[in-house]
Structures are given as C-alpha cells and as structure tokens.
C-alpha cells in the first residue's frame, strides 16, 4: 500500500465519528425539490455543501440556473498531465411522505443498528458525501490531490434534472474531464460491489379528468353524470393487461429483443422473486411473463401509476360524485425508446379512449433518455481495482432499473467514460419511509473513492 | 284564514331576522358525523338544539345511543283526540372538504344574494329548523299547539343512520304517531312544491388493495411488482361499461321493469339534460341509454366511486410504486333490491377478479333499503293543502335519487304515513362546497309547516 493511501485511510478511521456527524447535519436540511414549500431548504442545502467544500480546501461556488442552483467545486493538481475526474451527485431528496410510516422524523437523522436513518441518507447525500470526505482525507494528509477534481452537485435530480442537461450542453469546457464518477446506485451487498453499465430513462406525466364544475350529491345525480374517478380508472386500466404488459400501441417501439448471449450474461445476476419479496414485502413477483426479473428491470420499459386521487378520501362516508380525478404516472424507458415518441403514443392512446362526459388534460414532461455505458476504458478499470481492493470481491456489472437523467447527457456531451459505482444497499428504502445508509457503506465508500483517485493517477 | 294561522304567520314575519340569526348560530357548529375529530362538535349540536327546543316550551332531552345522541322533544295537546305528528330531521352534516372551493368558510355562515351559505344550511339544519320555528310561531302566539308533536333529530344520517333504525324498532311506543313529517329533500323551484314518494336505498363499501409492505422505488422494482393503483383501477373499471351500465352479475336482481303507465307518469317531471348540465356543470348527461334522466334517478340503482386514493398526490414527481390503494363506493338501491344481496354480489365480483399480486379487503356496510310511500292518506292531503296554499301551486310527486335511511324504518315499523315535503332547491349545492339555503325557502318552509299542522288538526 502506498504511503498516500495509508495516510488517507488512517485519517478516515480517525475522523469516522466526525464524518458521520457532518453527514447528519447535512441530512437535517429538508431539501425536497418536488415540493414548493421546500424551495428555501433546497437552496440552504446547496449553501451548506458549497461552504463545506470551501472549508476543505476546494474552490467552490453556486452556479445559478432557472431552478435550483448547482454546486460547482474544483481542485487543480500541480501536475500538468494529471487526469481530471468529474464527481457528480445531487443534494435534493425525495418527498418524505407518508410521514406516519417513519419510525423517527425524516429530517432528524438517527443512528440505529449500524445505519444512519433519514431522508436522503443513501439517495444521495450520503453517497456523494463519501466522495467529499475522500477528498478531505487526501487533502488534509498530503495537502494535495493526486488528480484534478471537479465536483458538480445538482438540486433537481428527483424532479428530472430539469436544468442540468442544458447546463452540461452549454458548458462543455467547464466540465471537461477524463471521466465522470457517480455514486447514486446500490451494490448487491457489502461483500459484492456492483457497477452499473445501463440506466433506464424516465418520462413523467400528469393526467386530470374533469366531469363537473363541483362535487355533487350522488343521490341526486348518480346515474345521470359521468364519474371522473371511474372514467380515469377505465382509462388507466386499458394501459396494461392483467399480466403486466403495456397495451399502448407504439410504447415498445425501438425496444430491442435480447439475444441468447445477453440473456445468459444477465442471468448471472442472482436477483429474482425471493429477493423482490424480501426487499418489498410483495406477495409475489409480478411482470411480463416472457422475461426474468433481471431482464424486466434492465431492458424492459414500464408504465407505473405513482399516485392517484379524487373525491372524498377521509374517514366515513361522503356520498358525492367528485368533479375531477387525477393520476401521476412515470414510465421507465430502455434503449432505444425515445421519450418524445413514447409521450406521443401515450397521449394518442388516452385521447382516443377518453370516455364520454369528461375532459382529459395531460401534462407530459420532456423525459430523459436511457443510457448504455461502455465498459472497456481506464476509468472503469480503476473503479474495478478500487472496488475489489475495498470490498474484497470483483464487482458485478448490472443494468439498473432506475434513472439518473444526467448520465445520458454526460456520456453524450462530454464523450468520456462514466463510472456508476454506488455504495447503497438494496434494503436502504430509498424513495420510501425510513430511508437509511449503512455506516459501513459510508466508510467503505470513502475508502473506495480514495482508492479510485489514487489508482486513476497511477494509471493515467 | 283562521285567526290561529294569521297570528302565527304574523309572528313569523316579525321574527324573520331573529330566526335567521338563530339558524346561523346552529350552523357554526361543525357537526360532521363522518370525521372522528368532530365527535365533540356533533354532540355540541345536539346539546344546542335540545336547549333551543326546551326554551321554546317543548319537553326535550338527549337520548343516548352507541353513536351520536338522539334529540327527542314533545308537546302534548290538551285535546284528547288530537293527532300526533312525528317530525324527523338530522343535526349532523356532510364533511366540508374540499375546503379550498368554499368562497367563505363552511362553518361561518354568511348571507349572500338571498341565501344562507354554510355547510348544513339546507341539509338538514335549515330544513328541520323551519319546523322548530313553526312550532315556536304557534306556541308563542297561542300558548298551545293544535296537535301533538314529537320531534326526533339524529346525528348520524350522513353516515347511514347507524343507530337510529334499531332505536325506531325498539321504541315504537315512544314514537307512536299518526304521521311522520320530514323535510330533507328539494322542491323543483320556489314556485313548484314537490313531495317525494320514493327514495333510493344506500349501500356503502370501502375497498383496499395491498401489494407491498411499503412504497418502493419505481426504478428498482417497476416491472417486477404489482402496482396496487393499477390493480384497483382495473377492478373498478370492470364494474361499469362505457355507457354507465353496472356489469356486476346480480346487481340488478329485483329491479322492476317500468310499464308504459309509470314511464308516462315519470315523464311529467321536466328534468332532463339541460337541468343536469345547469345544476352540475356537466358537459353532458351520462347514464344508461335505455332510460330517461328522471327514470335513472328514480328507479335505477347506481354504483358510484365517491373517492379513490393511493401513492403520491403532492406536487411534482415522486417515482414510487405505492404499497396500497383505496376506494370508497356507495350504491343507490331501488325497489326491490336487497342491500345484503347487492353487497354479496359486489364482494363476489371483485374477489373473483382480484388481480395477481395483491390482497383485496372490502368493508361492506349493512346498507339501507329503498322506500316507496303510499299517497292516499290524510297526512298527504294535509301536506298537499299546506304546500299549495304556501307556494301557490299544487305539489309535484317525484321519486328522489337520494336516500334517507330511516324513512324505510319509519314506514315499516310505525305503519303510518310518511310525508317527505322538502324546502331545498336544486341549486343548493348540498354535499358540495358552498352549500346554501334560500331565505325564501326558510320562510316558506316555516309557513308550510304551520299550515300543515293546522290543517292536520282540522281534518283529523
């Protein structure tokens, strides 16, 4: 082990408690990007982390966008030929609702059973904070980093990275680098590091069905006016068959068929019905019967209702026909679906089937495309080396079902390797109540990040 | 005009403003029976009205039930053969949600454009308060009533009269009377009094569909677990066809076919698509194409979703698959459907069709049967006379689409005529935001009630 590595890891061990305390402070800021009432908190999180980076010796600043600000920081090596890594993460978090299912308040981090429990602990504050701490470990022991580092944190990842994609397209010089490193995914277990080489894209839509000017008495008008909840249920019900196939014509356009080789490669991942049941409490796995769970997650698109509401939702009885009903839907997209094409297919499908007696209103977002990442490059090799040394096992390569909208933009605009090496665990409850991040994930994440940077400097 | 009548109506004119003020005070009590947080307010309304009746000279008391208390009051005539009228009403009100659609707070009554605007103004505080004021007009001018009066007010009408039906069955002596008078319905207009001779019954059910232990990330698990909102939408969508017919086998069992004579009689009521559009803001009337609007309202049963919810319903995007989804449904029942039979048919239908990957939980209430009331009796004749004299036109006889659960019990147990002479108007927004009651309805209601009691004493 090099002196540099040894000193940095010793520093990490010595400051373990302080690091956890700092992360907990970061986690108290309810930076929920989806909820307007948290707009100031989102900005507060940006201010907190920019100050934190500055105090650790990086030059750091807020870059304004039309939405949440970007945090940008950098450290320039004195070595002329040092490679540059761009570390990306996001300081915004998912809404914490339903609050009543949290065992402790979502923005009052607590340490329990080897985990930090809080909204954002894994996704993504804990994960990118591991990189920030890795930079500190190197800087505070040697006074320098072995490579050039750029840090870019955004505050709109959970709402589709609305402004970041454009920023990346418009600032290729600022973001110029040799590789991008992102920790915003999970590993199979603490003994099994995992590198993601494909991500699904995302398309979001809101559907509103209106039947009446106001809620009316279901006795006076029942049988004589359309019920918007029924109309919306009938519309949604037609979008999927009873086995989970999406029935919208054109939805699957571009989705590639799997050949035997790729099926065999995906089959190496031991993730199936047992894991799904354990992780979610599902009665059974459920999905397109022609595909395995790993295939469904990696290379099949989805149409999922994230929320639906209309009428009276309180206790007891309220005998009304509501004026309107609403649904929120997101689709996960796979290569080579095009978000605009899928959006148009969905719009056409629902408009053609709109039941009588209601108006249909759809807001369909621009969406973000899916990504497939190349594996054969120096950054990936450095990540494999760092992960293997840290966790004691060679990483698995997996397709991830989630979306990180900006990954496609990085790969496409910067034309450099992107490494997705995440430190989360499947049981971390991200996007759900009682989100958590293992202390071991945090510590190992710091170590893997330190190792990656040293390895990158050695092999470039 | 008799002296008695003249004096009573003069008293009503003189005390018009005071009567409105008293009603407004009654309306400030948010006696929402469906919502547990209003349990004390429900009791408060009962206490308020029992005290009010006592101060007007009736003997009045609260009768406890396992739910909200009953208000019972009586006045005994010194004439041995004076007939007895039982006046029924309910002091509980519908939930006020959605609050944001009210122009003024629902429990801060306001006088605007000739209306009292508040939750419960029409349904039912304003209507039964008109009878209380009629009693006052007679008692305060002559010191006596021309008939025996019993007043019975309940606090659970809006949640299915849970405890009243049993009370009626168990206390036939207490409630012994010659007729029942109820004002809990609407007239076609202030120039067109309306007597209801049939009511639909009610059956309420809650449906819960559970798929997961907790909400999960739609990227990690999308395509691999059932979505409970989609499952519930698919279930509900199958219950009705696209033209409004209920598809549940057995649902229509017992519903009688109409003969030409009854169709002709119902066709006399001029209520059709134009009125429905005006009253509700609907784009079009919608319902079983084989029937007219009046037929659909009077003699056809319904299956209406009153509310549905699941997942994330806030602003922005939340990429989850929710753990569960919920719906509230009420059915309006017509002669000769049986609530238990319909409930069993619904349970069987949904259980047989329950999609894979979810558990289905249904709470189905006991329901209340529909009612058809005889028209040829002394009480009905007194009502026709009183309505004609008050409003200047002979009353229409109509079938009402709504339900007053206890009417069936009164007719069945007491075996006496029930008169449903309501003073509401179609545009009163009952069960909806900005519920209101015309000051003219209130005044005319008092007059009609005074006339009814005098007429009843004269013809008995």
Q: In sequence order, what are the residues at sequence separation of 6 or more whose Cβ sits closer than 8 angstroms to the Cβ of residue A319?
A: A217, A218, A219, B94, B158, B202, B306, B330, B402, B403, B431
Contact of A193 with A187, CB cutoff 8 Å: yes
Q: What is the pLDDT of residues A314-358, one digit of tens each?
A: 988 899 999 999 999 999 999 889 999 999 999 999 999 999 999
The CA distance from A398 to the nearest CA of chain B, in Å, is 12
- Give percent of chain B above pLDDT 70: 100
Chain-centroid distance of CA A309 in Å reads 25
Q: Cβ of A77: how many Cβ atoms within 10 Å?
A: 16
What tokens were used for A337?
């679906």
Q: In Å, what is the CA distance from A57 to each residue of A75, A171, A247? A: 8, 24, 54
Interchain pair A217, B430: CB under 8 A: yes
Interchain pair A217, B281: CB under 8 A: no
B16 pLDDT above the threshold of 90: yes
DSSP string over B254-305: TPPPPPHHHHHHHHTS---HHHHHHHH--SS--S-TTS-HHHHHHH--EEEE
Interchain pair A310, B307: CB under 8 A: yes
Mean pLDDT rounded to a whole number for chain B: 95
Q: In chain A, which among 276-315 make CB contacts under 8 A with chain B?
A: 276, 279-288, 293, 296-297, 300-302, 304-315
Q: Which pLDDT does position A460 carry in this prediction?
A: 63
Across chain A, which has 460 residues, the per-10-residue mean pLDDT values are 89 98 98 96 97 96 96 94 96 94 97 97 98 97 94 93 91 97 95 93 96 94 97 98 97 91 83 94 96 94 98 92 98 94 98 97 93 92 97 91 88 95 94 96 98 90
Who has greater pLDDT, B316 or B451?
B451
The CA distance from A457 to the nearest CA of chain B, in Å, is 34
Q: In sequence order, what are the residues at sequence separation of 6 or more whose Cβ sits closer than 8 angstroms to the Cβ of residue B111?
A: B20, B24, B117, B439
Place of tokens 């069905």: A209
Q: In sequence order, what are the residues at sequence separation of 6 or more whose Cβ sits closer than 8 angstroms to the Cβ of residue A254?
A: A335, A336, A337, A338, A341
Q: Which pLDDT does position B22 carry in this prediction?
A: 98
Collapsing DSSP to helix, strand or coil, A167 comes out as helix
Place of tokens 């419960």: B120
Q: How far apart (Å, rounded) are the C-alpha atoms in residues A211 and A201?
A: 33
Chain B residue numbers touching A194 (CB-CB < 8 A): none
What tokens were used for B93?
């009100």
| Mean pLDDT to the nearest integer, B281-285 | 96
| B33 reaches A (C-beta below 8 A) | yes
CATH 3.30.70.360 residue ranges for chain B: 201-255+301-364
| Mean pLDDT to the nearest integer, B99-118 | 96
Place of tokens 């202030």: B190
Rounded to 5°, angle at Cα A187 from A184 and A189: 145
Interchain pair A308, B311: CB under 8 A: yes
Place of tokens 């920023």: A167
**ipTM over cut 0.85:** no
CATH class of B201-255+301-364: alpha beta
Chain A and chain B share a number of CB contacts under 8 A equal to: 381
| B275 reaches A (C-beta below 8 A) | no
Tell me chain B's radius of gyration from C-alpha atoms.
23
B247 pLDDT above the threshold of 70: yes
Q: How far apart (Å, rounded) are the C-alpha atoms in residues B241 and A57?
A: 67
Place of tokens 């019993």: B150
Contact of B431 with A320, CB cutoff 8 Å: yes
Q: In chain A, which among 373-412 make CB contacts under 8 A with chain B?
A: 400-403
Q: In Å, what is the CA distance from B356 to each residue of A244, A345, A448, B209, B404? A: 10, 27, 42, 11, 39
Q: How far apart (Å, rounded) are the C-alpha atoms in residues A320 and A310?
A: 11
Chain A residue numbers touching B282 (CB-CB < 8 A): 211-212, 225-226, 357
Q: What is the pLDDT of residues A271-309, one digit of tens each?
A: 899 999 999 999 999 999 999 999 999 899 999 999 999
Q: Domain B3-199+370-459: give its CATH architecture.
A: 3-Layer(aba) Sandwich (3.40)
Q: How far apart (Å, rounded) are the C-alpha atoms in residues A322 and A316?
A: 16
DSSP string over B405-449: HHHHHIIIII-S-EEEE--B-GGG-TTSTT-EEEHHHHHHHHHHH
B1 pLDDT above the threshold of 70: no
Chain B residue numbers touching A307 (CB-CB < 8 A): 229, 310-313, 318, 322
Q: Which pLDDT does position B265 carry in this prediction?
A: 78
Contact of B431 with B98, CB cutoff 8 Å: no
Dihedral (CA of B341, B342, B347, B353) sign: positive
- The confidence band for B160, taking pLDDT boundaries of 50, 70 and 90, is confident
What tokens were used for A241?
């068959």
Q: How far apart (Å, rounded) are the C-alpha atoms in residues A26 and A89?
A: 14
Question: Edge-to-edge strands of the sheet including A436-438?
Answer: A110-112, A115-117, A436-438
Measured between CA atoms, the residue of chain B closest to residue A273 is B224
Chain B residue numbers touching A305 (CB-CB < 8 A): 227, 229-230, 233, 310-311
| B38 reaches A (C-beta below 8 A) | no
Nearest to B63 by CA among B42, B48, B46, B41: B46
């Amino acid at each position: 082990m090099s002196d540099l590595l040894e000193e940095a890891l010793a520093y990490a061990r010595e400051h373990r408690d302080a690091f956890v305390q700092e992360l907990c402070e970061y986690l108290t800021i309810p930076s929920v990007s989806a909820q307007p009432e948290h707009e100031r908190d989102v900005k507060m999180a940006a201010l907190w982390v920019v100050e934190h980076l500055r105090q650790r010796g990086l030059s750091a600043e807020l870059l304004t966008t039309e939405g949440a600000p970007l945090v940008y920081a950098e450290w320039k090596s004195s070595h002329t030929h040092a490679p540059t890594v761009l570390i990306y993460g996001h300081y915004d978090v998912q809404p914490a609702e339903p609050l009543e299912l949290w065992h402790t308040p979502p923005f009052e981090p607590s340490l329990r059973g080897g985990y930090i429990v809080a909204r954002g602990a894994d996704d993504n504050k804990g994960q990118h904070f591991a990189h920030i701490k890795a930079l500190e470990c190197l800087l505070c022991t040697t006074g320098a980093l072995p490579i050039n580092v750029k840090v870019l944190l955004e505050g709109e990842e959970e709402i589709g990275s609305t402004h970041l994609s454009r920023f990346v397209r418009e600032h290729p010089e600022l973001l110029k680098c040799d590789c991008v490193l992102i920790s915003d995914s999970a590993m199979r277990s603490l003994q099994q590091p995992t590198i993601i080489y494909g991500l699904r894209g995302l398309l979001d839509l809101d559907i509103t069905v209106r039947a009446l000017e106001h809620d009316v008495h279901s006795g006076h008008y029942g049988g004589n006016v359309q019920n918007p909840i029924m109309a919306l249920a009938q519309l949604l019900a037609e979008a999927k068959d009873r086995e989970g196939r999406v029935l919208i014509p054109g939805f699957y356009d571009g989705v590639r068929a799997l050949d035997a080789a790729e099926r065999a490669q995906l089959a190496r991942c031991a993730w199936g019905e047992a894991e799904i049941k354990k992780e979610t409490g599902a009665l059974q796995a459920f999905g397109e019967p022609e595909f395995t769970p790993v295939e469904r997650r990696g290379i099949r698109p989805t149409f999922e209702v994230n929320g639906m509401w209309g009428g009276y939702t309180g206790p007891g009885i309220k005998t009304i026909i509501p004026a309107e009903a609403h649904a929120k839907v997101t689709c996960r997209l796979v290569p080579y679906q095009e978000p605009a094409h899928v959006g148009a297919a969905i719009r056409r499908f629902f408009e053609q089937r709109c039941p009588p007696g209601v108006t249909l209103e759809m807001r369909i977002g621009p969406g973000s495309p899916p990504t497939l990442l190349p594996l054969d490059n120096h950054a990936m090799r450095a990540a494999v080396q760092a992960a293997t040394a840290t966790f004691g096992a060679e990483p698995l390569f997996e397709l991830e079902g989630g979306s990180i909208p900006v990954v496609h933009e990085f790969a496409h605009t910067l034309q450099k390797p992107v490494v997705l090496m995440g430190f989360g665990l499947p049981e971390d409850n991200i996007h759900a109540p009682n989100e958590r991040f293992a202390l071991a994930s945090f510590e190992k994440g710091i170590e893997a990040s330190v190792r990656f940077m040293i390895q990158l400097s050695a092999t470039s």
